[in-house]
Amino acid sequence: MKSLLSAFVATIALIGSANGMTVTKGNGDDWLKKSTKTAVIQLTRAAQTYTPGMNPRSVNPDGTVRLAPPRDWTTGFFPGTLWYGYELSGDKNLAAEAKRFTLALDTIQYVKDTHDLGFMLYCSYGNAYRVTGDKIYLKPLENGAANLYARFNKKVGAIRSWDFGHWQFPVIIDNLMNLEYLYWAGKEFNKPEWFDAAKTHAVTTMKNHFRKDYSSYHVISYDTLSGKVLQRETHQGLTNESAWARGQAWGLYGYTMSYKDTKDKKFIEHAEHIAAFIMNHPAMPADKIPLWDFDVHNRDRSPRDASAAAVIASALLDLSTQVKDGQKYFKFAEDILKTLSSDEYLAKPGENQFFILKHSVGALLYNSEIDTPLNYADYYYLEALKRYAEIKKIDLKTINQS
């Protein structure tokens, strides 16, 4: 079996890929085979175990699974991970499960009180449409995008994130992750104002969310009469001035995608600055899985955040294909993926409540989801594996049959 795989990988080992990268020869990508096989087993078991509409979100401190209803901000990740699992493996059962878990989220197209519609709808219905081309997925995507656009305020130049809290008009760095949905929907449904709103949001966020070192604040609240910044705070980071790890990851991903969709050079320059902040940070551990906040001081006891690492890996792989000297981004992402694919982070098949990765952090200061699996860590990990395989021109479907 193993020699067959080696022979296969050796024969597909290429001189270089589209962006000039050296491709590993021989069986140097065994970790990739192991991780995708684990993912397929975990996703298959999860889909058999859980009920569509109550999707696995994380693991509670007592070891039981935390399930989330459709309205939860993480609801789109499990169906999205199933779609990626299908693409990576070619396993038709996963495609059927992905469809079943996607269509169970029918009600989320009517949600109006959050910005999280990109996570909720684009990761589920968006992937469903991208993979299958089936038009049954389009109407929910159109309705959701209209609801997202309705949260755009022209005076502020941004989409409102939350309807709760003490802020007048809160915009969080995570909101950049909704822009890919709005850029796509603007083009798909011929609504240029949706596309323009997404671009304006990216410009406003670039101006107000970032510090001189290109780290970002989590929450900015705006005055809706003047459009001016009222507060710069955090909701999930260590302090208002700290660099919450996942927030930095969302920023990197958001500007990489904004460049891809608009081709506006200032976005790719900004993404590269954020990448430099993350990659060169003195608190980045040698294995490249960040602590939950770059500014925590008790480094020995503070948990790592695999979800931030997975988002960073996926974003860097995409960034690596969009700049001339992308090798450094590719290499950093590869290092992250190898660590996440080690026994320390990758679940043993059948364990971990059928999540793929261990050791993420949701909201540490709220004592919520600390050192646990998270469905979005799994989602961005599989997305990154898919991007990695595409860049290296590795056909995982064939590999996984060996």
Cβ atoms of residues 367 and 357 within 8 Å: no
| Closest distance of CB 118 from ligand GLY, Å | 10
Residue 234 in marked binding region = yes
Residue 174 in marked binding region = yes
Exposure on the CB side of residue 131, measured as CA atoms within 13 A: 25
Give whichever of 79 and 362 is closer to ligand GLY, judged by the CB atom. Answer: 362
Alpha-carbon dihedral 228, 262, 326, 332, rounded to 10 degrees: 50
The continuous run of DSSP H or E covering 213 comes out as none
Catalytic residue among 29, 116, 305, 318: 116
Pull the structure tokens for residue 252. 């990197």
| Closest distance of CB 72 from ligand GLY, Å | 11
Task: Determine whether 223 is an active site residue.
Answer: no
Pull the structure tokens for residue 194. 């949706």
CA angle 80-81-82, nearest 5°? 90
Give whichever of 209 and 392 is closer to ligand GLY, judged by the CB atom. Answer: 209
Give whichever of 258 and 321 is closer to ligand GLY, judged by the CB atom. Answer: 258
User: Could you please report the per-residue DSSP string of 101-121?
Assistant: HHHTTGGGGG--SBSTHIIII
| Closest distance of CB 247 from ligand GLY, Å | 7
Catalytic residue among 29, 72, 91, 174: 174
Question: What is the rounded CA–CA span in Å between residue 300 and residue 287?
Answer: 14
Cβ atoms of residues 156 and 227 within 8 Å: yes
Give whichever of 128 and 364 is closer to ligand GLY, judged by the CB atom. Answer: 364
Residue positions counted in the chain: 402
Contact residues for ligand GLY (CB under 6 A)? 174, 236, 246, 362
Give whichever of 99 and 115 is closer to ligand GLY, judged by the CB atom. Answer: 115
Residue 75 in marked binding region = no
| Closest distance of CB 254 from ligand GLY, Å | 12
AA letter at 88: L
Please count the other Cβ atoms lying within 10 Å of the Cβ belonging to residue 165.
12
Residue 134 in marked binding region = no
Residue nearest to ligand GLY (CB): 174
| Closest distance of CB 56 from ligand GLY, Å | 16
| Closest distance of CB 237 from ligand GLY, Å | 10
Residue 246 in marked binding region = yes
User: Could you please report the per-residue DSSP string of 45-72?
Assistant: HHHHHSPTTSEEEEE-TTSPEEEE-TTS
Give whichever of 8 and 167 is closer to ligand GLY, judged by the CB atom. Answer: 167
Alpha-carbon dihedral 220, 207, 257, 46, rounded to 10 degrees: -10
| 3-class secondary structure, 214 | coil
Distances (CA, A) of 134 to 188, 239, 374: 14, 45, 29
Please count the other Cβ atoms lying within 10 Å of the Cβ belonging to residue 1.
6
Exposure on the CB side of residue 380, measured as CA atoms within 13 A: 29
| Closest distance of CB 326 from ligand GLY, Å | 26
Cβ atoms of residues 73 and 108 within 8 Å: no
Give whichever of 56 and 362 is closer to ligand GLY, judged by the CB atom. Answer: 362
Task: Determine whether 343 is an active site residue.
Answer: no
Residues of each annotated binding site for substrate:
116, 174, 234, 246, 250
Q: Residues with catalytic annotation?
A: 116, 174
Residues of each annotated binding site:
116, 174, 234, 246, 250
